[in-house]
Structure 1
Amino acid sequence: MQKENHTTVSEFLLVGFNNLHEFRILVFISLLSIYIAILIGNLIIIVLVVFNIRLHSPMYFFLGNLSFSEILFTTVIVPKMFCVILTEKGAISFDNCIIQMYMFGSFASVECFLLTVMSYDRYLAICNPMRYSVIMNTRVCMNLITFSWIGGFMAIFILIIPVFKLLFCDSNVIDHLFCDLPHLFKISCSDTFVAETMVFFFSSSIVLFPFIFVLGTYTCIILTIVRIPSTVSRSKAFATCSSHVAVVSTYYGTLIMMYVVPSKNHSLIASKLLSLLYTVVTPLLNPIIYSLRNHDIKVILRMLLLKMYE
Structure 2
Amino acid sequence: NSNTPSTTTTNVNVHHNRPSTTTTTTTVTSRKQEGSNYNREKGNINTKNSHQKQQPRSSQQNVVVKPNSRRQSGGVIPCGKRTDFGYDKDFDKRYTIGKLLGHGQFGYTYVATDKSSGDRVAVKKIEKNKMVLPIAVEDVKREVKILKALAGHENVVQFYNSFEDDNYVYIVMELCEGGELLDRILSKKDSRYTEKDAAIVVRQMLKVAAECHLHGLVHRDMKPENFLFKSSKMDSPLKATDFGLSDFIRPGKKFQDIVGSAYYVAPEVLKRRSGPESDVWSIGVITYILLCGRRPFWDKTEDGIFKEVLRNK
**Shared fold, TM over 0.5:** no
Structure with max Cα Rg: 1
| Higher-helix-fraction structure | 1
TM-score when normalising by structure 2? 0.29
Compare relative contact order (CA 8 Å, sep 6+) and give the higher one, 1 or 2: 1
| Higher-strand-fraction structure | 2
